[in-house]
Chain A
Amino acid sequence: GENVEQHPSTLSVQEGDSAVIKCTYSDSASNYFPWYKQELGKGPQLIIDIRSNVGEKKDQRIAVTLNKTAKHFSLHITETQPEDSAVYFCAASIKGTYKYIFGTGTRLKVLA
């Protein structure tokens, strides 16, 4: 069945450094790839998304890249800040279905 693999499971970076989280999806019909940030005790919140007809998208310090051929997509956070510390989830979905398949999450710690 459909699967999304996410790596690493934990990531520690120094404040100001960059962080990269990678995901791989299995279903070639996937066409929408959102990233969610979950702070402690809260529900996940969308931070950025990308659709299959786009290779890269940026929003200030956050960027997402998509390689459809390799079925990879990645989240890039530059100039990390302590408030970036959270759990990040990637997901993939297929147009016309109910399916959002989530990765297993990455716990990011930004060390001051």
Chain B
Amino acid sequence: IAGITQAPTSQILAAGRRMTLRCTQDMRHNAMYWYRQDLGLGLRLIHYSNTAGTTGKGEVPDGYSVSRANTDDFPLTLASAVPSQTSVYFCASSGQASTGELFFGEGSRLTVL
């Protein structure tokens, strides 16, 4: 089934540890995004990529980095996790940046202790 696959589904992490959330899509979409979802704050954009080889910062990029080596993969890395990064993370893709449907993964629940 075509779509977005995120891993892990959930993770508990000690503060200060490095963590990479994986995201793969098989729809050959150019644009990919990482959002975090927190109660009462909705979905906030962390980083985005309009095409392979390019990335950009969203609303809340601090403490996160991304790479886009190819069309399909868009990993999100927390270099040194902090408790405020406890959240549910969603990866999304779109065939048309900014004016097309976003396809979301199932989310990765991250708890930083």
Contacts and interface: CB of A to CB of B under 8 A. Distances in A.
Interface of A: 6, 9, 31-32, 34, 36, 41-46, 49, 51, 89, 91, 93-105
A32 B99 contact: yes
Interface residues of B, number: 26
Given A43-B107, A95-B99, A100 B42 contact: no
B106 A93 contact: no
A104 B35 CA distance: 13
Contacts of A102: 35, 42-44
A89 B41 CA distance: 11
A101 B107 CA distance: 18
Nearest to B6: A43
Contact of A94 (B4, B90, B98): B98
A46 B102 contact: yes
B101 A34 contact: yes
Interface string B92-108: 10000111011011110
Max chain A Cβ within 10 angstroms of own Cβ: one of B41, B42, B92: B42
A93 B98 contact: yes
B39 to A, nearest CB: 9
A98 B101 contact: no
A91 to B, nearest CB: 8
B11 to A, nearest CB: 16
B16 interface: no
A34 B92 CA distance: 14
B31 A43 contact: no
A51 B98 CA distance: 12
B61 interface: no
Nearest to A30: B98
Max chain B Cβ within 10 angstroms of own Cβ: one of A32, A46, A91, A102: A102
